[in-house]
Chain A
Amino acid sequence: KNEVEQSPQNLTAQEGEFITINCSYSVGISALHWLQQHPGGGIVSLFMLSSGKKKHGRLIATINIQEKHSSLHITASHPRDSAVYICAVRPRGGADGLTFGKGTHLIIQP
């Protein structure tokens, strides 16, 4: 069974801090997604990656395929980064849809 574990479950930090959210999964995958969900439900896709590292603005996502682990980093965090961050993976072969982690609730205090 494909499982996706995220840590931490909840994270409160001060504005400006460097944030790291971790995601571990149990099966071979074809791609890993990092998603952001704000209150109200809207989901935005932040990254989709299958190897290496991607950067977009203050956000950086890395993946280690051998260790089945990915991290999402936020540099110079800001209160507007407060949201739920969700990791999702698509198993290799594509026979199943995305499997999601439970999400990390991030609060950035001014």
Chain B
Amino acid sequence: KAGVTQTPRYLIKTRGQQVTLSCSPISGHRSVSWYQQTPGQGLQFLFEYFSETQRNKGNFPGRFSGRQFSNSRSEMNVSTLELGDSALYLCASSSQPGQGEGNEQFFGPGTRLTVL
């Protein structure tokens, strides 16, 4: 079974631009979560999607948005990029959303975004 894939793996943008990142979950997984990792803040939760619906959202400004398609692939978008948005963006998929001890998350390799 193929793992979680994220594209692109690396991205360089300038301030004010917008960016779209893509995540394809493991086949059969319907839940996708997004995380931001920075040296200063560590890992932080962005969103969780299940069956094309956003279930949870972390404490991020409205410039951060996402969506999930009927095939469970997910995209996240960051508009009006700021220098502080430079980070590793990780997505993870699971078979079900939220709680449940058997609901392990499988992480993708991440997209490293650099904002200049």
Contacts and interface: CB of A to CB of B under 8 A. Distances in A.
Interface residues of A, number: 26
Interface string A48-73: 11100000000000000000000000
B98 A41 contact: no
Interface string A76-110: 00000000001010101011111111110000000
B5 to A, nearest CB: 13
Interface string B43-70: 1111110000001101000000000000
A38 B31 CA distance: 24
Nearest to B33: A97
User: Nearest 7 A-B pairs (CB), nearest first?
Assistant: A97-B45, A30-B99, A94-B98, A100-B43, A43-B107, A41-B110, A50-B101
29 contacts: A31-B99, A31-B100, A41-B88, A41-B90, A41-B110, A42-B107, A43-B110, A45-B105, A45-B107, A48-B101, A48-B103, A86-B42, A90-B98, A94-B55, A94-B56, A94-B97, A94-B98, A95-B56, A97-B33, A97-B45, A97-B46, A97-B58, A98-B33, A98-B43, A99-B45, A100-B42, A100-B43, A100-B45, A101-B42
Interface of B: 33, 35, 37, 42-48, 55-56, 58, 88, 90, 92, 97-107, 109-110, 112
